[in-house]
Amino acid sequence: MKSIRGRLFLILMITTGLVWLSAIGWIYLSTQAKVEKVLDARLVEAARMVSSLVASQGMDPAKAAEFHVAIAEPHPLYDRQLSCQIWAFDGTLVGRSSGAPGTPLTETDEGFSETRVHGETWRVYAVADAERGMRVMVGDNLSVRDRLVADVIRGLALPAIVALLALSGLIWFSVGRGLAPLNAMARALANRPASDLSPLTQTGSPSEIRPMVDALNGLFARVGALRQRERDFTAFAAHELKTPIAGLRTQAQIALGAGEGDVRGNALEQIVVGVDRTSRLIRQLTDLTNAENGDEAGQGETVNPGQMLELLADDIRRHKTGSVAISIAPELHETTLAADPFLFSLAARNLLENAAMHSTQGGRVRCTLHRQDDSATVMFEDDGPGIPDDELSKVRDRFFRGRNKTPMGSGLGLAIAELAMKRMGGALHIANRDEGGLRTEMEFRLSVKNDT
Partner 1 sequence: MRILIVEDDEVLIDGLKVGLGLAGFTVDAVETCADAAAALHASTFDAVVLDLMLPDGSGLDVLAEMRQRDDATPVLLLTARDSVADRVSGLDAGADDYLGKPFDLDEVAARLRALTRRSTGNASAILRWKSFQLDPASMSVSDAGRPLRLSRREFSILRALMDRPGQILSKTQLEERLYGWQEDVESNTIEVHIHNLRGKLGPGRIETVRGVGYRLAESGA
Among 22, 39, 119, residue whose Cα is nearest residue 81 = 39
Does the footprint of partner 1 cover residue 329 (CB under 8 A)? no
What's the rounded Cα separation, in Å, for the pair 348 and 379?
10
For residue 355, the minimal CB distance to partner 1 (Å) is 20
What's the rounded Cα separation, in Å, for the pair 432 and 386?
6
Q: What does the radius of gyration of the chain's CA atoms come to, in whole angstroms?
A: 50
For residue 411, the minimal CB distance to partner 1 (Å) is 9
Q: Which of 68, 135, 145, 277 binds partner 1 (CB under 8 A)?
A: 277
Does the footprint of partner 1 cover residue 392 (CB under 8 A)? no
Does the footprint of partner 1 cover residue 322 (CB under 8 A)? no
φ and ψ of 115, to 5 deg = -135, 155
Does the footprint of partner 1 cover residue 336 (CB under 8 A)? no
Task: Output 257 or 322, the one with its CB closest to partner 1.
Answer: 257
Does the footprint of partner 1 cover residue 401 (CB under 8 A)? yes
Backbone angle region of 156, left / alpha / beta, with phi > 0 → left and psi within -120 to 50 → alpha = alpha
The per-residue b/e assignment along 243-279, b for 16 or more CB within 10 angstroms, e otherwise, is ebeebbeebeebbeeeeeeeeeeebeebbebbeebbe
Give the range of 59-67, 138-146, 175-183, 265-273 binding partner 1 by CB under 8 A.
265-273
Does the footprint of partner 1 cover residue 405 (CB under 8 A)? yes
Residue list 217-256, contact with partner 1 (CB under 8 A): 238-240, 242-251, 253-254
Give CA torsion, residues 166, 172, 178, 181, to 10 deg.
Answer: -150
Q: Interior CA angle at 11 toward 5 and 14, to 5°?
A: 135
Task: Output 276 or 310, the one with its CB closest to partner 1.
Answer: 276
Task: Output 292 or 391, the one with its CB closest to partner 1.
Answer: 391
Does the footprint of partner 1 cover residue 398 (CB under 8 A)? no
For residue 261, the minimal CB distance to partner 1 (Å) is 14
Does the footprint of partner 1 cover residue 327 (CB under 8 A)? no
For residue 4, the minimal CB distance to partner 1 (Å) is 50
DSSP collapsed to 3 states, 61-101: HHHHHHHHHHHCCCCHHHCCCEEEEEEECCCCEEEECCCCC
Could you tell me how many residues of this chain bind partner 1 (CB under 8 A)? Answer: 31
Half-sphere exposure (CA, 13 Å, Cβ side) for 187?
6
Give the range of 7-15, 78-86, 117-125, 262-270 binding partner 1 by CB under 8 A.
262-270
- Is the C-alpha dihedral spanning 58, 59, 62, 68 positive or negative? negative
Q: Which of 266, 289, 304, 368 binds partner 1 (CB under 8 A)?
A: 266
Does the footprint of partner 1 cover residue 283 (CB under 8 A)? no
Q: Which residues bind partner 1 (CB under 8 A)?
A: 238-240, 242-251, 253-254, 257-258, 263, 266-267, 270-271, 273-274, 277, 400-403, 405, 407
